[in-house]
Amino acid sequence: MTDAWLRDMAGDLKIAVQFSTRLPVAAPPAEGADIARSAWAMPIVGALVGLIGALAYYFAHSAGLPPLPAAVLALAATIVTTGCLHEDGLADAADGLGGGTTPEQKLAIMRDPRVGTYGACALIVSALLRAGAIASLATPALVTPALIAAHAAGRAMMPVAMSLVPPARTDGLSASASLVSRKGAMSAGILGLLAMVLALGVTASIIVALLMLLAIAGVARVCVRQIGGQTGDVLGAIEQVGEIIVLLAAAARP
């Protein structure tokens, strides 16, 4: 039983890595049900992405670069690792929710691969906030736990949102992937909270977790009202918001 449980966990982790990153993984292509089952592992993948960004910052810092360019390189490393997965979602969600007058138009805009004004502005703001927060931490000793926590907690927000907010579409990957179990969402939330505790401490982590839940509630309210629920793009935007909240909290610590 233990061996089967470990194999199942390893399989879920492979699927989460395959779906969330561009890292080479020996696993068959994942479908929506597979992604829903492996949602609990998304914070672990996030921690890995954050570690890659932290290593980039460490090498840049060791080479004598100032904090800001080192932070930009760290951000670039995480973007390359994920293939801009969540940044793409943020841009599409901003364009869709900001443009269009009907739910159908907004959903069509989200599926349009082109980036509009809302999406471009959202990407710029996201990149500036994250790079600025990382740069303000300055030393690798502070940057490393902050990046790991930000990426782990940001990805923990997605299963939580998937379990609470209905999908806006009845077809597509997002609809089937949204069948994440409450147990999976809770496991992801706990893993994300643990990562924050290690970086920010207990009190700050509880405050940040509440802010993240408020962010999910706010985004969910807008999405349900405008398009009837969440989409994969909306989940990507939620992940970006989570990253930003944790990094800003780390930067604001005395």
pLDDT band at 96 (very low <50, low <70, confident <90, very high): very high
**Predicted local confidence at residue 253, as pLDDT:** 87
pLDDT band at 226 (very low <50, low <70, confident <90, very high): very high
Tens of pLDDT along 117-141? 999 999 999 999 999 999 999 999 9
CA distances from 126 to 48, 65, 185, 220, 230 (A): 20, 22, 25, 19, 20
Please give the model's pTM, rounded to 2 decimal places. 0.93
d(CA 32, CA 167): 13
**Predicted local confidence at residue 177, as pLDDT:** 58
Average pLDDT over residues 147-153: 98
pLDDT band at 34 (very low <50, low <70, confident <90, very high): confident
Q: Count CB atoms within 10 A of the CB of residue 101.
A: 8
DSSP H or E segment with residue 3: helix 2-20
Percentage of residues in the chain with pLDDT exceeding 70? 96
Q: Mean pLDDT of all residues in the chain? A: 92
pLDDT at 223 exceeding the cut of 70: yes
**Predicted local confidence at residue 182, as pLDDT:** 87
Average pLDDT over residues 225-246: 94
Cβ-Cβ contacts under 8 Å for 207 (sequence gap 6 or more): 249
**Predicted local confidence at residue 95, as pLDDT:** 96
- DSSP annotation string for 74-93: HHHHHHHHHTTHHHHHHHHH
Tens of pLDDT along 152-191? 999 999 999 988 888 887 766 566 656 788 898 999 999 9
- DSSP annotation string for 153-187: HHHHHHHHHHHHS-BS-SSSHHHHHT---HHHHHH
pLDDT at 250 exceeding the cut of 70: yes
Cβ-Cβ contacts under 8 Å for 181 (sequence gap 6 or more): 36, 37, 163
Lowest mean pLDDT among 33-42, 49-58, 102-111, 204-213: 33-42
**Predicted local confidence at residue 178, as pLDDT:** 63
